[in-house]
Chains A and B, each alone.
Chain A
Amino acid sequence: MGVATYIKDEKDAIEEVILQSGIKVKPAYTPEDLERVGFEYHKDLGDPGEFPFTRSLHPLGYRSRNWTTRQYTGFGTPEETNERFKLMISHGQTGLNVAFDLPTQMGYDSDDPMAEGEVGRVGMAVDSLRDFEIAFKDIKLNRIGAGLTINAVASVMLAMYESMAEKFGYKKTEISATPQNDILKEIVGRGAWIYPVEPAVRLIGDTIEYAMKELPRCNPVSVAGYHIRESGCTPAQEISYAFMIAFAYIDNVVARGYKAEDFVGRFSFNLNVYGNLWETVAKFRAARKLWAQLLRERYGVQDKKALFLRGIFGGGGSGMTKQQPENNIVRGAYYALAAALSGAQTTALCSFDEAYTIPTERAALISLRTFQILMDEMGLRDTIDPLGGSYFIETLTKEMGEKILEEMEKIEKMGGMVEAVASGYVQREVARQAYEFEKKLQQGKVTKVGVNKYTEGADMEVELHEYNEEWAQLQIERLQDLKKTRDNKAVKESLKALEKAAEVQENVMPYLLDCCKCYATVGEMANVFRDVFGEFREPNIF
């Protein structure tokens, strides 16, 4: 998905262009269009670094600070992950983006029957603090930030990260971690959910509350419209669903008696760069503006920095094709360009082999080089918001803003995102969009080079990242050894205390820290929550 619909005449001349969000593009734009949409420089854009931040969060943009690049890394054992971290850092990567295997994401230990065949497959396996101590060994945790791609048990992993950093002698005030910690989008689009919606959202509230008080450099939530877009929604829906999800988390914490102003500046977003170039740029500009405006209106947030739409704008994996895989290197370069033209603070790319597997070392490096070429050779750091003022882009930015608000209104009418997800509305809508798009692709109404046009017959096989069965064995042995050598009485007591806190709805974070520090396992902690909260059941959407 991602490409617009083109209606053409028999001579291949384009008669109509309809962007995925449903906006028609004209053949040319003039000052009259700006008048038609009511464009005003100070109201709609503001100077770079000024409300509503349409152009840039910072007054000097990339001049004062290059973007951060964060390739998704992590596989197999913690030892292997540690090596890959160091390799990427030595090549100039400036942040870590940690991939966990599915058992870890789902709160199962490596020796659980549910984990069979999956240990270390799509990310690193983490059973206990011992694994984190290995994975982050010799990484300067006060210098480099880590994105932790985990959601259902993000609270556990944040506690694990803090415990590990403390063990290595860092102060909790100097470490920077961003757990993804967005369970609503998991339910809509990525599927790594465990608990029912309400307690799951409460766990996120716990991490936000805790980080606000104890971890000044941690961003406790990264709201990931990215995955909902990957699942099939339109660019406008991506932003509106992400915002509605963010509001659900804000409301949970506000209900505890805090002011949004005091914590919302720590929210970050993970958004998708993929599809039509202009729609993408307009989407991000509109999103930055709307986020600032809505936070002011809904929650009375005044602090400038709390109004920033921070985050990672990353190249979408579903744009990558397994046909003619080298083309994905070119696609990645255009996605990176779109991200830079959109003023992304942090970026990442899916590597060219990602349609098949997690990235090989070479492929991950090519992605990193793509960013470096753009910023160091092509002049993307020269000036801020270079498309700003274009009749077309400014008109489109206004129109995207309206589309986003329209979609938000639909969710609002259902009572908010928690309700819209619990009832299955959002999942149904996303699946419908994905199906409609796939049909258009198969009918040739949208073009994907190498897939439904300019095909080359036989597909070439890409180099696969090997899965090593021994990883599971090593991981299970380490876990069994751990269970023999740790203080099992302390583990039992800490888990009991955690259970009690979960039952009375006390903030669980301090209890998770106690569990992590005495080497309780991820599975043991996750199971405490399973017992207390139960498990989510998917609504039928067919």
Chain B
Amino acid sequence: MGERKTRVLVGKPGLDGHDRGAKVVALALKDAGMEVIYTGLHQTVPSIVKQALQEAVDVIGLSIMSGAHIPISRKLMDMMKEEGIVNVIVIVGGVIPNKDIPLLKELGIDGVFPGGSPFEEIIQFIQQSVRE
């Protein structure tokens, strides 16, 4: 019996359209053997949560470049709680100042990977978190 592939939803919430980072990470995760679903641009938090449920993903990765990472993360975590989604790892990447990382963790974000984070770090974090 083959091991089930880890399923990752790469989401671009908000109006920002800079998706180079999201696409590059999506390709890296795919190369690492994961199943990647990309939401496309201009998503709302409800639409991301809906796709996460439909696709039964193990991981939600948000790419946020606009500076709105805190309100968006808060909204996502609240909504996941409302929908009773547990055991889904949430990671955030993009333009994230170091000083905001503790607050994001407090909100329940499992991993924060600012632009330029090594693929290896992201891949290992996901693999380890999913195993746990």
Contacts and interface: CB of A to CB of B under 8 A. Distances in A.
A191 B18 contact: yes
Contact of A117 (B71, B95, B115): B71
A118 B14 contact: yes
Chain A contact residues (Cβ within 8 angstroms of B): what range? Answer: 35 or more
A18 interface: no
Interface string A169-195: 000000000000000001001111100
Contacts of A114: 15, 44
Contact of A442 (B41, B72, B118): B118
B42 A459 contact: no
Interface string B52-78: 000000000000001110011000000
Given A357-B67, A435-B27, A442-B118, A232 B20 contact: yes
B98 interface: yes
A121 B67 contact: yes
Interface in B36-56: 36, 38, 40-42, 44
B26 A118 contact: no
Contacts, number: 93
Nearest to A427: B23
B2 interface: no
Contacts of B12: 191
Contacts of A189: 20
Most buried by A among B24, B40, B68, B119: B24
A89 B73 CA distance: 39
A232 to B, nearest CB: 6
Looking at chain B's contact residues, the main secondary structure is loop
A220 interface: no
Contacts of B71: 117
Interface string A76-115: 0000000000000000000000000011011010000011
Contacts of B15: 102-103, 105-106, 108, 114-115, 118, 192
Contacts of B14: 102, 117-118
B28 interface: yes
Contacts of B24: 232, 431, 434-435, 438
Interface in A436-482: 438-439, 442, 451, 459, 461, 464, 467
Interface of B: 12, 14-20, 23-24, 26-28, 30, 36, 38, 40-42, 44, 66-68, 71-72, 95, 97-99, 114-116, 118-120
6 contacts: A121-B67, A191-B16, A191-B19, A431-B20, A442-B119, A538-B40
